């Protein structure tokens, strides 16, 4: 295999890796957006909870279990959001790495083109 063919194959592989990394990043962004929406919904649910604790029996009968459930929902939503943010960061780093490999392959191929055109 010639040097040109090797470089073109490396460039094609790098471009395919970059496209896959971009798709993974798009999927991670969608999951991240959903996690943020879930977090916002948990926050809205917490804010709309019944704040009047002076009702007879409300403290023991109704409010405490709801508050505990709301807190657990917020913790779960926050943990999911943190996990998906970390996944997005990994996907972004993978795409940047793939882009760097593509840039290096493109530069090598351009250098080969320049050297072949010199008289």
Q: Please compute the mean of the pLDDT values over residues 3-15 and round it to a whole number.
A: 88
59: which 2 tokens?
């403290």
C-alpha span between 21 and 92 (Å, rounded): 8
How large is the average pLDDT for residues 61-86?
70
pLDDT score, position 100: 93
| Neighbour tally for 74: CB within 10 Å | 15
pLDDT tens digits along 28-60: 999 989 888 888 887 777 666 555 555 555 555
pLDDT attached to residue 47? 63
Cα torsion 46, 48, 52, 57 to 10°: value is: -70
pLDDT-wise least confident of 1-5, 91-95, 103-107: 1-5
Encoded tokens for 40: 């916002």
How far apart, in whole angstroms, are the C-alpha atoms of residue 9 and residue 95? 19
| Average pLDDT estimate for 63-76 | 61
């Amino acid at each position: 295999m010639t040097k040109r063919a090797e470089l073109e194959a490396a460039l094609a592989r790098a471009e395919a890796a970059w496209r896959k990394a971009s798709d993974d990043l798009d999927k991670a962004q969608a999951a991240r957006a959903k996690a943020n929406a879930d977090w916002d919904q948990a926050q809205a649910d917490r804010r709309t909870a019944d704040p009047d604790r002076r009702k007879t029996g409300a403290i023991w009968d109704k409010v405490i279990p709801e508050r505990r459930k709301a807190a657990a929902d917020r913790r779960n939503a926050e943990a999911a959001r943190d996990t998906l943010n970390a996944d997005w960061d990994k996907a972004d780093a993978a795409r940047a790495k793939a882009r760097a490999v593509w840039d290096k392959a493109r530069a090598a191929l351009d250098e080969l083109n320049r050297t072949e055109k010199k008289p």
